[in-house]
A and B are shown apart, each in its own frame.
Chain A
Amino acid sequence: MWMFILKRLGQMVLVFYIFLALLYSLLLAQPGGLENQFVGNPDIPPEAKQELIERLGLDQPPHLQVLSYMWNVTTGDLGVSWSQYPEPVASVLWDALPRTLYLFLLATILAYVVGFVSGKLVAWRRDTMTEKVVLTSSIFLWTVFYPWFALLMLWFFGVQLGWFPLGKFITVEKWLSAPYDADSVFLLMMGSAVAAAVAYLGAWYLIRRNTQDWDTRRTRSRWAAAGIAVVFAAFWAVNPRGEWALDIVWHSVIPVVTLTLVAYASTTLLTRTSMIETVKEDYILTARAKGVPDKTIRDRHASRNALLPVVTSLVLALATVIGGGVITESIFSWPGIGLELLRAITLEDVPLAMGALSFIAVLSLLAHLVADILYAVLDPRIRVQG
């Protein structure tokens, strides 16, 4: 297993450096010099221009620039944002990351949980009205033009019903007097969510080790989840940042629901297809012949095996959510990595755009690694072949 992971890690590093080299080469291949953005002002004296060019390293030959860039990224130096000078690129991205993670992780996980459950159910209830309704709605949501759908959601729930705010992630009037900045609240929200998730995973592991009976294990797991939820709720109820976090949650409802609906559709369809294939397997027939209850066959025999492609899809989706949020974050005015990337491109902030793309590349590669490991864990044949 370790060799497998090491081999994959080696491939990842290689792919990452090829990506960096291509990225910088593409930048150099663009018409016009990078320095033009700064030295276009005819009032800047020639010596100042030269100094600037040297400072940016643009006086070096292209191959040295590429190598220099790769080395800087290796040492964690993504440079300084040109549009938010002198803010380091890493700092800009780091500030935006919690907002993106919050929105997209929540939506993706919700979408996969709901999508998996509904896909499992409709695969089991073939040719019923439930299947037709779920299939029709899933295909609609899967194929819908996303920006239109997102605006429609905003218009309906924000303008027509007035239930939710029109985009943004906080209420301006409320936060004018806020004693905290939104980033600190976001970080606490993310931290508490991670702590809750870790606590649940720990509890689940202990329950699994100490409980053999399936039903008891499930009941205890639910109790553990409920207990953690209570602690989580209590923590936020007494925390002075609670009301500010609630405002963020209120603003995230429409984007999360919109993203969930769209992502849920594809998971439902994927799970359904996977389940339909799985229930044709001989071991399902055997289980039925043995008189195992339908629910048990569905939940313990079929769905667990049907989970494999869904898990892969989830892991890869988690990677793409970081960078794939340009449209979502633009429409909902949600200032995350996607908006930073868009702004960097608009303002020709080359270091920031390249930093954001490198960041997305690293996360994508990591996600692929996790997917590979998960696959290997879930299906030992892959490890052997790998």
Chain B
Amino acid sequence: MIESSKRHLLKFVALLAVLAMIAAACGGDTTDTTEAEGGDTTTTTEGESGDTTTTEGEDGGDEGGEPSAGGTYAMGMTSDITTTNYWTYLGDGASGTVYAQYVNAPTVRGLYGIDLPSLAVVPDLAVAGPPPEPVEGDGGWTVTVELTPDQTWSDGSPLDANDVVFTYETSRDLGLSGTWLTMYPYADTQSPQLLSVEATNDLTVVYTFSERPGLGTWPHNVGVNAIMSDEYWGPIVEEAKGTDDPVATLYGADGVGAVSAGSLILNNYEQGAFVESVANENYGLSGQATTVFDSGGVNIDGTDYGDVSGEVIAEYTTGPFVDNVTYSIYSDQNLAVTALIEGEIDYWINPLGIGTGLREQVLNAEGITTIANPTNGMRYAAFNLNKSPFSYVEFRQALALMVDKEFLTQNVLQGVAFPMYLMVPEGNAKWFNEELAEEIKSQYVGKSTQDRLTEAVQLLKDAGFTWSGEEPSFDEELNVVRNGSGLTDPEGVAVEDIEVLAPAASYDPLRSTASLWIETWLEMLGAPATANPTDFNTLVAKAYTIDENGVGDFDMYLLGWSLGNAAFPTFHESFWHSRNSLNNNPDGNNAPQYQSEEFDAAADAIINAATEEEAFEAMSEAERLLATDLPYIVLFDTPITESFNSELNFPFTSTLSGLQFGSGFPGVVSK
């Protein structure tokens, strides 16, 4: 009986196995096809391992030539997106992540755009030519912009001045804050305030400002802001207005399938797995011919923007040339790199690039091109200007002399970082003042430790500093610095132990290491110091908290900034203007509380400049003041290293902050 049952059971199991195999075979067809498709990507790999490069500025991959049409541009991301809705992406809250930007940015257009890599302001929806100048009128200052005719949304509906008005009015009427408020300064507390946006006809839009807008407002921000479709979003906005929380209702709308003005249409989103965008056949810039010059200018369809006197570094036509773009989500970096090497993705897009630990893998992989680009950021040491000894500019200058950035970056940090002397990074060629940088650099570079120490000690002596113990000196025989001791400030107060706050090594080993060397340099001067690697949030909270007297509870700290809009940097005002000093504005970014009328004037002049030349001059002046007053000592930054499938054709790969800065350039890349 039992034997019989066993036989039956065996037969049944065999039947189940057959059924399972049939089921697997049915499912397997699709799977095989998938593998074959994925395999196509890697079967014809171009470039040998020798093609890979990490030389800064050297381009990799196939550039130029006629782009081939079609195919999938497969990107990998190490985080899911937070929203598919562009309203939400620019809104307040934490939805504006860089990954949301990668996916959403290629779906929108503004009246003007920022060309990469030149960083020139170029027309997008507006007619060819530079942005119009503001004109003073009865109701304020107006800017009248003509739109290019026959522009359409991805569904073929007309894209015109009414959409521009709709976008502004929605921001204002719903009180959208976050980046919307920066892009459209509609609030009456803002200066200049954007009073109105009106369409005088379908192709003419008039902006009215309360005051003359500087470049920081027009065309940057207002002119480059994304335009949303009235026809598509209008009913959603109207419905939202009827609810208890209109903003939440608008932000909650799904952006998948929304009409697009950009090169891509957001087509499909499977949470946690992938996003897919498809090419916009109605993209208005398709076929546009662009020539980029190394002098920073660009020629678009025969019109010059900026200085075009230099050599041509790229010539390309705008696409899109791929059928669709996929963004696969890998939550582990190792997995993303493996997927890249295995040909599963063409490019791993992420804001930090490929870290040192993973770089070796991509450099040794065939068919992978690796590039390095400068970034739009800086890491710095900031000081509490309300506390001795950093309240004395001579002490800050003495420390700046002791901080040997070349030694720090090349010897200590083994070349993974590059030294900086201006707040504007060198990679931002448009705004970087090379002459000024060389001038400042010459005050430090090439000096021996002995020279630096001698100068620093002299500076301190001249300011009235004394040493109750040993004065710092250099032992020429042993070639070592004999640390000073008992440094006393000009008021006769002994300098107490200086706490050098820096992020912990787990967060940023570079700044953590630098803090140890700064501790050493301070002690050379006779100032007792202790490097204190600290949790990032704790550090930020300490740096940005003031007591009832308006004084911060720190001596100095090491942090970093990503500098935002590279095409028109306004961070000088944000970081060092007295109106943003924490004692004047608790939400300000001027934690050292640097206050200088001269600097304030220069920072204001940058934002209010009517021309880029004016802004450049003002920025140079601001940089010169910062280099002398030293509320910060700018230290270094790291380049961004990225890798991609060598079959991809980018028209250029030398671009500030790398390919990720242009969201992977889906509108011009081809395979």
Contact = CB atoms under 8 A, between A and B. Distances in A.
Contacts of A10: none
B38 A46 contact: no
Contact of B97 (A46, A83, A95, A172): A83
Contacts of A247: 27, 30-31
A71 interface: no
A237 B23 contact: yes
B9 A83 contact: no
Interface string B22-35: 11101100110010
Contacts of B27: 242-243, 246-247, 250
B369 interface: no
Interface of A: 30-32, 37-46, 48-49, 52, 80, 82-87, 95-96, 99, 151, 154-155, 158-159, 166-176, 178, 181-183, 215, 219, 222-223, 226, 229-230, 233-234, 236-237, 242-243, 246-247, 250, 329-335, 339, 342-343, 346-349
A233 B19 contact: yes
Contacts of A159: 338, 342
B329 A84 contact: no
Nearest to A88: B252
Nearest to A169: B273
Given A46-B189, A167-B335, A37 B94 contact: yes
25 contacts: A37-B93, A37-B94, A41-B177, A43-B182, A44-B92, A44-B181, A82-B95, A84-B95, A87-B252, A159-B342, A166-B342, A167-B332, A167-B335, A167-B339, A172-B74, A172-B273, A176-B274, A222-B9, A223-B12, A230-B19, A236-B23, A250-B31, A333-B331, A339-B331, A347-B94
A207 to B, nearest CB: 13
A99 B331 CA distance: 15
A242 B23 contact: yes
Contact of A83 (B72, B95, B179, B187): B95
B26 A242 contact: yes
Contacts of A334: 272, 331
A168 B328 contact: yes
Interface string B169-205: 0000001011101100101011000000000000000
Given A31-B542, A41-B182, A166 B273 contact: no
Contacts of A176: 268, 274, 276, 324, 326
Contacts of A343: 79-80
Contacts of A32: 537, 540-541, 544-545
B344 interface: yes
Nearest to A349: B94
B2 interface: yes
Contacts of A85: 83, 88, 91, 93-95, 248, 251
A181 B270 contact: yes
A95 B271 contact: yes
Nearest to B4: A219
Contacts of A347: 82, 94, 97
A250 B187 CA distance: 54
Contacts of B23: 233, 236-237, 242, 246
B549 interface: no
Interface residues of B, number: 81
A83 B540 CA distance: 21
Given A31-B540, A32-B544, 13 more contacts: A31-B541, A31-B545, A43-B182, A43-B187, A83-B82, A154-B335, A168-B329, A172-B273, A173-B326, A176-B274, A226-B13, A246-B23, A335-B272
Nearest to A150: B332
B58 interface: no
Contact of A331 (B72, B270, B332): B332
A151 B342 CA distance: 15
Contacts of A167: 330-332, 335, 339
B20 A233 contact: yes
Contacts of A151: 332, 334
B331 A42 contact: no
Tell me the dominant secondary structure on chain A's binding face.
helix
Nearest to A166: B339
A339 B330 CA distance: 11
B248 A86 contact: yes
B5 interface: yes
Given A85-B93, A329-B331, A173 B38 contact: yes
A233 B16 contact: yes
A153 to B, nearest CB: 12
B331 A172 contact: no
Contacts of B177: 41, 43-44, 48
A167 B336 CA distance: 10
B37 to A, nearest CB: 5
Pick the most buried of A38, A172, A181: most chain B CB atoms within 10 A of its CB: A172
Interface in B598-626: none
Contacts of A234: 19
Contacts of B270: 170, 175, 178, 181-182
B538 A31 contact: yes
A45 B189 contact: yes
A37 to B, nearest CB: 6
B5 A219 contact: yes
Contacts of A169: 272-273
Given A168-B329, A242-B27, A229 B541 contact: no
Interface in B465-507: none
B362 to A, nearest CB: 14
B273 A175 contact: yes
Interface stretch (B397-405, B525-533, B580-588): B580-588
A42 B585 contact: yes
Interface string B262-282: 000000101111101000000
A45 to B, nearest CB: 5
Nearest to A37: B94
B562 interface: no
A330 B30 contact: no
A170 B23 CA distance: 18
B574 interface: yes
Pick the most buried of A171, A178, A183, A226: most chain B CB atoms within 10 A of its CB: A171
B6 to A, nearest CB: 8
A48 B175 contact: yes
Nearest to A80: B248
A314 to B, nearest CB: 26
Given A171-B34, A233-B20, A347-B97, A243 B26 contact: yes
Contacts of A87: 252
A33 to B, nearest CB: 9
A44 B175 CA distance: 10
Contacts of A171: 31, 34
A247 B249 CA distance: 35
Given A37-B94, A159-B338, A335-B273, A230 B332 contact: no
A258 to B, nearest CB: 13
A41 B671 CA distance: 41
A215 B190 CA distance: 84
Closest 5 A/B residue pairs (Cβ): A335-B272, A31-B541, A246-B27, A86-B248, A32-B541
Contacts of A348: 94
Contacts of B271: 95, 182-183, 335
A100 B475 CA distance: 65
Interface in B24-66: 24, 26-27, 30-31, 34, 37-38
A348 to B, nearest CB: 7
Contacts of B187: 43, 45, 48
B394 to A, nearest CB: 32
A170 B16 contact: no
A246 B24 CA distance: 8
Nearest to A219: B5
Given A168-B329, A330-B332, A343-B80, A99 B12 contact: no
Given A30-B537, A181-B270, A246-B24, A84 B83 contact: yes
A178 B587 CA distance: 47
Nearest to B38: A173
Nearest to A87: B252
